[in-house]
Amino acid sequence: MVTNDQIQIRDPFVYVDEAEGRYYLFGSTDKNIWGPGTGFDMYVGTDLETWDGPFPVFRPEESFYSDENFWAPEVHYYQGKYYMFATFLRKDNQKRGTGILVSDKVTGPFVPHSPEPVTPREWFSLDGTLYVDEEGDPWIVFCHEWVQVSDGEVCAQRLSTDLKKATGEPVVLFRASDAPWPTSFKHKRFPDSENYVTDGTFMFKTMNDELVMLWASFVNNVYAQGISRSVSGNVTGPWVHEEHPLYLNDGGHGMIFRTFANQLILTLHTPNKTPLERPIFITLSEMNGKLITE
């Protein structure tokens, strides 16, 4: 049994199993996520405070297309199976992308489902999340990394119904600088540019049926969590942005879920520094579609 302050994890993601009365906590669990990838672990609990685990849910075979940068696993139930969307650094071209794993059980083991990452092959992409639209069609919403484009982008791309590949072209939904709250930074990669980060996308429907997106960036080099919302209610937007971050205390890459008591919870990791990162759980309230931390 471990408590939240004992769990080193980045990019926490909670799968809520109401039938079993359990929360399953996933995330980037390698001790050094910036290096060789070991796999992903999971924790199981009932109160969001104490957990059993860690339990291994993914360990790659030697033939797997990545052996480095295992990041941000999310687990989604779709058409009778559990699909894990996670970021991996490709062996063949040293570019990151989101691949899809599958399991018959939420507890794994997860095995490769897509033959390679489904995000564009020549892009540096990360933090893909599943969104199923009103017609039942699956999309991946992901970030096109600032390391390639300077001003990080959030993009969407249709997926095949079996989630094995992307179909059609990626659509740029917005860039980090489109929102009023992120600030730029200088970097030797783009010395003449104002650079902005996008990461950690997550889609959520409010009680008044608005489609909102969580994503993370930086404010004066401090990691922060922001919210945008779709004017049309569709994944393609257009997207408008909250003026201020939802959370500004060196934490981000969050997601939202409801507890068994129907309480809205934001989870994210803080501080944004290895090996100190820990999961935290913040109570949210919703007023006219606006999410407010309590």
In the chain, the domains with their CATH numbers are: 2-293 (2.115.10.20)
pLDDT tens digits, one per residue of 79-135: 999 999 999 999 999 999 999 999 999 999 999 999 999 999 999 999 999 999 999
Question: Rounded mean pLDDT of 198-208?
Answer: 96
Question: Rounded mean pLDDT of 31-44?
Answer: 96
Cα(268)–Cα(196) distance, integer angstroms: 20
Q: Which pLDDT score, from 0 to 100, does residue 289 have?
A: 77
Q: Which pLDDT score, from 0 to 100, does residue 188 have?
A: 86
At 176, is the secondary structure helix, strand, or coil? Answer: helix
Question: Rounded mean pLDDT of 259-263?
Answer: 96
24 and 15 in contact (C-beta within 8 Å)?
yes
Judged against a pLDDT cut of 80, whether residue 272 lies above it is answered with yes
Spatial neighbors of 281 by CB under 8 A, at least 6 apart, are 4, 48, 265, 266, 267
Judged against a pLDDT cut of 80, whether residue 243 lies above it is answered with yes
Q: Which pLDDT score, from 0 to 100, does residue 288 have?
A: 80
Question: Rounded mean pLDDT of 48-68?
Answer: 98
Q: Which pLDDT score, from 0 to 100, does residue 192 have?
A: 84
274 and 33 in contact (C-beta within 8 Å)?
yes
Cα(204)–Cα(153) distance, integer angstroms: 19
Q: Which pLDDT score, from 0 to 100, does residue 256 have?
A: 98
